[in-house]
Amino acid sequence: MSHSIDSEDLLERFCRYVRLDTRSDAHSAACPSTQGQWELLRLLERELNEIGAADVRLTAEGYALATIPASSKDAVTPRIAWFAHVDTATELPGGATPIVHQKYDGKPIVLPDDPTQELTVDTTPQLREKTGHDIITASGATLLGADDKAGVAAVMAAARHLLRHPEIPHGIIRVCFNPDEEIARGMTRLKLDDLSADVGYTLDGADLGEINYETFSADAATIEIRGVSIHPGLAKGVMVNALRLAGSFLSALPAEISPERTAGRDGFIHPVEVEGNADRCTIRMILRDFELAGLAAKRAAVEQVVAGLRIVEPRAVFALTFEEQYRNMRYWLEKDMRPVELAREAARRAGITPSFAAIRGGTDGSNLTARGLPCPNIFCGMHEVHSRREWVSLQDMRKSAETLLHLAELWHEQR
């Protein structure tokens, strides 16, 4: 049985996908939130049909679904699902010009559209392990989009391979490409009945062999500040400047629990956007912690700052709201670790050493697991995501896809 993924096809797919600008937009109420995502989803719909997948459809909410029929009819096998998100981070331009640095020689990689963006083995330690690999970067002007188009390409390559190699025993596999993961809405409109799966895996991880079953728990927080407006020439004793109050709020947030000063299992409070004027101002934040008690403490810290400002400036109006985004999937997966253990064994069968790591972020699997579909996360080789220095190894993407092939076999053995 062949488990060797076609590297040329994988590379062509990945480069094709990253050329599309698929940034999501938290200010849009649409699903998907941007037209660029629709473009990639329609492309994937066509490609799923081209490789021979069954039940291909693109839902009105932007979920591209398909089935890889079972190759074995001898017993009922748990249905597994593979997920990857099509959107990229909102902060930087998308629509990459991919550059393939073949057989990386260990020397600095300078991105031509912005020579200040340089990857070296000193500043990017993971590169030291990738000598001889084919490294893919953007040109320096945009994100690469490996988060999560490396996952999209790995899923497509694995699906194509299984359809071309019916001698590999596996049960029914469902494929789902979804929008808006980067704005924490990736699975909010997916109907689990439409998916019809018993267990899932997101392809949205980093280091070779890494399996994730623990994520942050996450809340969003928004504070709307309404000041008192008047002509600045008449402002003395009357004006309350909402922008100045916003600055006071931001400076009062505890700096020791910011992303810039935390690592490992420490959570944070992170302001992500400020907009407004002297009359009204809105600040949006994200709160993260691995434990619910820690998340509650961060809510309390924000509330304490707002309470202090209300005392300092009673003429202003402060409206603070919180919204649950996702929860640590460990709370559910630790009750039955079989999906995690099979992923680890699949990595071993693919010839790599598996490892576990807690994600300082979230995946669509956080939402799915909480809703009853166990869904750990699998590596796809992306590094320095959400930056112009983002890169991925073609060989690591290939191993990701091959891990999926072994995972399909392993779940078939569970019958």
Rounded Cα distance, 45 and 390, in Å: 27
SS3 135: strand
**Under a CB-based contact definition with an 8 Å cutoff, are residues 209 and 347 in contact?**
yes
Burial of 144 (0-12, 13-18, 19+ CB in 10 A): buried
Rounded Cα distance, 310 and 102, in Å: 59
Residue 381, Ramachandran bin (φ over 0: left; ψ between -120 and 50: alpha; else beta): left
Q: Check 87, 204, 364, 396 and give the catalytic one.
A: 87
Residue type at position 75: A
Q: Check 25, 147, 181, 219 and give the catalytic one.
A: 181
Half-sphere exposure of 198 (CA within 13 A, CB side): 16
Closest CA to 291 of 339, 364, 358: 358
Decide if 87 is catalytic: yes
Decide if 396 is catalytic: no
CA dihedral (222, 183, 295, 189) positive or negative: positive
> How remote is the C-alpha of 196 from its chain's centroid?
23
Active-site annotation, residues: 87, 181
